[in-house]
Amino acid sequence: MLSPWFGRRPEAGSLRAAVRGNRLFTVVLLAGVLLRVVTMLGFPPALWFNDSYDFLRIANDPFPHQLRPSGYGLFLWLLKPFHSLTLVTILQHAAVVGIAVLGYRMLVRDFEVRRHWAALAVAPVLLDAFQIELEHLLLSDTLFTVLVFGAMLLMARPGATGWRRAAVVGALLGLASVTRTVGVPLFVIVVLFLVMRRTRWTAYVALGAAFVVPLGGYATWYKSEHGRFGMSGVDGIFLWGRTAAFADCDAHRPPPELARLCPYGAADDRPASSHQIWEANSPTGWTDGEPFPAETNALAQRFAVWAIMNQPLDYARVVAYDFFVRTFAWNREPYPTVGTEARYHFPTEARTHKDLPVIGGGHRIEVVQEYAHDSGRTRIVSPYADVMRWYQEHVRVPGTVLGVVLLAGAAGMVWRRARPRTFLFWSSAVTLLAVPPVTVDFDYRYMLPAMPFACFAAAMAWGRGRPAKPSRRGGEPDEPGAERESDAEPART
């Protein structure tokens, strides 16, 4: 019986009635599924990014990677017995479709959002061409999005937040954080949400304990391999890259031990922050297949702090430009490099794997062969590939539209006194967009995980219909005095 997934039942047991009652969403869902099928047919078995080989190397013989958390690599390790990159991309596409269906169902049934508003809220996730392309890449972003969005949907579900629900949310956020470290600040947002809801102390304890378990376990594993607790060995390196956009060692003389990390050239002529880390002549000393020494990472962090302290306005200017201008621009530019941005477009021709060494041992071609038992080379199959390239040229969510959606959510919180769960989704979107420019650099793919959060916040702020009659749903009982939230009134107890 499918109708419960689409809100209140138009006619019990009738699939036709369920579809008829949710026409717009049904069209959007079928289109999203069809586009993903065409993508699978046009670009089998997967699309590749430079990071993809590191994740496969982790999957072949798990270890805590020094450049990025190994969570996605462990996900690939679970699927390694199948030796199928096609299976990986199918699961990634299916997971996003599944989270969109779940999100629509909760908007309509649990959050009482009008159905056309709910369908519009999930449409960008299902139809945006760059989102579909990202799901077809062997990258951690899809798994991360599913984990954090699932966690926030569960946290926002009506009813009292008992310790069991809080524990599941904490575990999901912990797993997301060992997939991408930008998940860590989302934990703070959930805590603020619980404070706004005046939740019992047991929920805080369960949330924190469940969140710490995967992070603590991973940090311990990292220490056993690399000698220090941590999630990676590049936190200082990445922050150095951020400051390399503006650091002026002529106007501000650094301590002698940090001088070798001064970026080259005038600030206006330097490459993008993230690209400066990996250049062949970078002061970081990057070499393919070798991790950064712990001493270099520590010195890079000291240099970054020194640069920010001496040039705080320049740091604020660089961050503000990336967040307000690059993020919300209508058109894309080839940033951080032409090659990097090109990887987010469906290719016109198959690319061969460069035979470069990878951290952990071996070369890219060997890593792919061990995991997939074949070359894993992307094939370009017409006419399906042609369709998706044409589609990507015409159907996307520009940054300006994302900015308008965020403003709509913010306006809803101010003028409609929208409830705490609107804050939960809106602040999650802002955090996911802001953390990379603050700590590393802007990248277009970092925008996509924020998109469903922004859309849901706007839909919950402005798209609610008349409240349904209160009904007791299954699950934990409400806390004494727990509110049934509405857009018209702030949360109360």
**Average pLDDT of adjacent 10-residue blocks, the chain of 493 residues:** 45 61 93 98 97 98 97 98 98 98 96 95 98 98 98 94 96 98 97 94 97 97 94 96 96 95 92 93 93 96 98 98 97 95 95 93 96 96 98 97 97 83 96 97 97 97 68 38 36 32
The count of domains in the chain is 3
Whether residue 387 is contained in a domain is answered as yes
Last residue of a domain, one of 326, 345, 379: 326
Q: Could you tell me if 210 and 174 are in contact, meaning their C-beta atoms sit under 8 angstroms apart? A: yes
Whether residue 98 is contained in a domain is answered as yes
Asked if 1 and 134 sit in the same domain, the reply is yes
Asked if 10 and 92 sit in the same domain, the reply is yes
pLDDT at 301: 97
Whether residue 48 is contained in a domain is answered as yes
Last residue of a domain, one of 326, 354, 377: 326
Whether residue 317 is contained in a domain is answered as yes
How far is residue 334's CA from residue 341's CA, in Å, rounded to a whole number? Answer: 6
Peptide bond into 336 cis (omega under 30): yes
Q: How many CA atoms lie within 13 A of 92 on its CB side?
A: 30
End-to-end CA distance of the chain: 36
Of residues 441, 421, 408, the one with CA closest to residue 484: 421
Whether residue 186 is contained in a domain is answered as no
Whether residue 111 is contained in a domain is answered as yes
pLDDT at 268: 87
Asked if 4 and 116 sit in the same domain, the reply is yes
Asked if 373 and 258 sit in the same domain, the reply is no
Q: Could you tell me if 155 and 165 are in contact, meaning their C-beta atoms sit under 8 angstroms apart? A: yes
Question: Residue 87: which residues within 8 A CB-CB, separation 6 or more?
Answer: 79
Asked if 241 and 368 sit in the same domain, the reply is no
pLDDT at 471: 42
Q: Could you tell me if 339 and 49 are in contact, meaning their C-beta atoms sit under 8 angstroms apart? A: no
Asked if 456 and 393 sit in the same domain, the reply is no
**Residue 290, SS3 per DSSP:** strand
Asked if 243 and 376 sit in the same domain, the reply is no
pLDDT at 383: 97
Q: Which residues pair with 47 in a beta bridge?
A: 137
Asked if 343 and 308 sit in the same domain, the reply is no
Q: What is the CA radius of gyration of the chain?
A: 23
Asked if 134 and 7 sit in the same domain, the reply is yes
Asked if 255 and 296 sit in the same domain, the reply is yes
Alpha helices in 227-311 (DSSP H): 235-243, 273-278, 294-310
Asked if 378 and 257 sit in the same domain, the reply is no
Of residues 10, 36, 171, 177, the one with CA closest to residue 100: 36
Residue 207: both structure tokens together: 């949330």
Whether residue 131 is contained in a domain is answered as yes
Whether residue 478 is contained in a domain is answered as no
pLDDT at 486: 37
How far is residue 325's CA from residue 296's CA, in Å, rounded to a whole number? Answer: 32
Asked if 124 and 4 sit in the same domain, the reply is yes
Domain that holds residue 317: 235-326
